[in-house]
Structure 1
Amino acid sequence: MKILVIRFSSMGDIIYTTPVVRCLKKQVPNAEVHFLTKPAFKYIYDNNPYVDKLLLLKPSLTDTINEIKAEKYDQIIDLHNNLRTSIIKLRTGIKASTYKKQPILKWLSLKLKRNLVSKDHLVDRYLKAVKFLGVVNDDNPIDYYIKAEHDITKLLPVSHQNGYAAFVIGATHFTKRMPNYKIISICKQLKLPVLLLGGNDVKANGDEIAAAIGTSVYNACGITSLDESVFLVSKAKNVIGFDTGLTHIAEAFNVPIASVWGGTTPDLLGVWPYKVKEVLVAGVDLSCRPCSKFGLEKCPLGHFKCMNDMPEADIVNFSNR
């Protein structure tokens, strides 16, 4: 059976498709599994042994549709469910099963500040789209395959080579990130050396945090590549991170994770750490939270209590235990 799984974006959403692809490949007899995504997210499925072919969305949707037609798939599994995937399904005429997004319930949950959506994790929501094939959850974590062999002695100072806590300080939107003063306060209370990870956009933040504490904190933001950052996360004693891709990728390695949530909430998105043995999900119960599904550039009310009032003790104790 030749199957095409579709999810175009974003990093976190695509990461959580990996158990579906794995279960399809291992449980459907003679399955040939292909995956279609945007070129920007190709790295998520690089080296994945459960994908027989990776297709990349082309600038012209017609070109993508022609490629799909040429492959002669038996089944499409649509885990994105948007206008483009609807057009693909209509114009190819291939049998399809589609993930149900519950957009109205998500909108009502956001407006009413009450979780009305399915309490299942996003992985389990995705798996419902392949249940008709006899596929069941194998209860294993997400998959991510590091692309190269990395030498930790070339990536970290000597002070961090025998163990560290990784703190992922980056996130796409401001309301997902903790203010620097709060990160500094937490880092000062941690027993392990701290490795700061994130992109170029938070390099200055990392510099400020490291300068405030000293050599026990090493700022790798904007220095390490994504693959190197994933490698370093996989080797960490524990991870502290926000609602962002690298924190979600860390789940593939079953390291203890303190998942810290500001203006967004895990229940609404269904993306708390999946099949990780040691987890802390940290967040402040506020009447204004969640303020958005995916994060905002500033706090709508100006006080940013969801991060400013975040209790530090639970995060510190989780990392120090």
Structure 2
Amino acid sequence: MNRPLKILVLQFASIGDVVLTTPVVRSLKQQLPNAIIHFCTKQAYQSIVENNPRIARAHFVDGNLFRLLKELRAEQFDYVIDLQNTFLTSLIKATTGSRSYSIEKQSFREWLYIRWKVNAMTEQHIVDRYMATIQPLGVENDGRGLDYFIPYKDEVETNWLPETHQNGFVAYAIGGQSLTRRLPVLRMIELCIKINYPVILLGDKADRKVGDEIVQAIGERQIYNACGHFNLNQSASLLQRARVVFSHDTGLMHIAAAFRKKVYSIWGSTTPQFGFYPYKTPHVRLETPGLGCRPCSASNSGNCPMKHFKCMNNLPSILK
């Protein structure tokens, strides 16, 4: 009888990055039947990993790094799978003393692409790069896409929604890590008008003000501003029920992909060539072609450094 094989998976970057690791977790668990999977991430992402039935235990960075390192070392893992390859994950690997496999970073290629617009990026989705990390264990990509698990308590009931949205709706994730990843408000309004169907706006509390502006411009019969009203799992429940999903380059886009929704992904300062486009689901990429300033060095902070924001302002007509 094979003894249990304890495996730790590391990913701290973002909501989307954690969702994108789910094929790794599933493949490890299903192709190594004796595997016991642990997952280490930020406390903020607890609701994503704690409901994944393939994860036996989650560990979180809660501000006390020494305590976390002591906790992980005590587990005596057989393998550590590092899907981020940062100083923190290197410290964890050194502390555990376990055999590890780490994702191959593309820092120089990314620098060339952002700084000099030389696209030397590999034509590979980030999930496929994650999966390549565990190939030495004899684990292959099963091609089944992403997973997302919603607990029953977070399933949104139909009667929680306005009557105008109870018989079907389109979801639009209006958030983004920076202004350069989001449509300007007027273009969001233009998009919602063109959809011409009940729309639920999704995002966090920081997005609520923009959502209110869209509602004020179009009206409550077509637009329901759910930003900040639902938690992450409840927002995922709404994505699961949506007819289609529009999204900026954000974590909710990847959650929609986990439910195999058709996704209209909207790209500004970032580009799909970085490998973070919707995975294993029907999708349409909406971006302004031929701009010499994309991808943008301000992809994660600030406003357009060129002051024109053509990547979003010149975006071709989204709906004909």
Q: TM-score range by the shorter chain?
A: over 0.9
- Counterpart position of 2:77: 73
Q: 1:186 aligns with which of 191, 212, 233?
A: 191
* 1:78-93 mapped onto 2 (5 Å cutoff): 78-93=82-97
Distance 1:184 1:18 in 2: 34
> Do structure 1's residue 316 and structure 2's residue 315 form an aligned pair?
no
TM-score normalized by the length of structure 1: 0.93
- Counterpart position of 1:244: 250
- Counterpart position of 1:103: 107
Cα deviation for residue 147 of structure 1 reads 2.4
Going from structure 1 to structure 2, the CA distance change for 1:188 and 1:300 (only over 3 Å counts) comes to: same
- Counterpart position of 1:205: 210
* 1:1-321 mapped onto 2 (5 Å cutoff): 1-149=5-153, 150-214=155-219, 215-268=221-274, 270-276=275-281, 278-285=282-289, 286-292=291-297, 294-312=299-317, 315-317=318-320
Quick one: which amino acid aligns to residue 248 of structure 2?
Answer: F
Q: Which moved further from structure 2: 147-156 or 107-116? A: 147-156
Distance 2:238 2:316 in 1: 26
Going from structure 1 to structure 2, the CA distance change for 1:61 and 1:204 (only over 3 Å counts) comes to: closer
Deviation string, structure 1 residues 243-300 (Cα, Å, up to 9, x no partner): 11112211111111001010111212x1100010x21011112100111374332000
Report if aligned partners of 1:46, 1:145 keep a CA contact under 8 Å in 2: no
Quick one: which amino acid aligns to residue 39 of structure 1?
Answer: Q
Deviation string, structure 1 residues 95-115 (Cα, Å, up to 9, x no partner): 111111111111111112132
Cα deviation for residue 316 of structure 1 reads 2.1
User: What secondary structure does 2:45 align onto?
Assistant: helix
Distance 1:98 1:151 in 2: 38
Cα deviation for residue 148 of structure 1 reads 2.8
Going from structure 1 to structure 2, the CA distance change for 1:189 and 1:59 (only over 3 Å counts) comes to: closer
Distance 1:169 1:151 in 2: 19
Cα deviation for residue 57 of structure 1 reads 2.2
Kindly tell me the number of residue pairs found equivalent between the two proteins: 313
Distance 1:121 1:299 in 2: 26
Deviation string, structure 1 residues 5-55 (Cα, Å, up to 9, x no partner): 111221111111110011000001311111111111111112101111111
Quick one: which amino acid aligns to residue 243 of structure 2?
Answer: K
Report if aligned partners of 2:25, 2:55 keep a CA contact under 8 Å in 1: yes
5+ long unaligned stretches in structure 2: none
Quick one: which amino acid aligns to residue 257 of structure 1?
Answer: V
Q: Which runs of 4+ in 1 moved over 4 A?
A: none
Q: Percent identity?
A: 43
Superposition CA RMSD, Å = 1.5
Q: Which moved further from structure 2: 155-164 or 219-228? A: 219-228
Deviation string, structure 1 residues 58-117 (Cα, Å, up to 9, x no partner): 423332222122111111111111112212222322111111111111111111213212
5+ long unaligned stretches in structure 1: none
Distance 1:96 1:86 in 2: 10
Q: Which moved further from structure 2: 137-146 or 186-195? A: 186-195
Going from structure 1 to structure 2, the CA distance change for 1:222 and 1:61 (only over 3 Å counts) comes to: closer
User: What secondary structure does 1:175 align onto?
Assistant: helix
User: What secondary structure does 2:236 align onto?
Assistant: helix
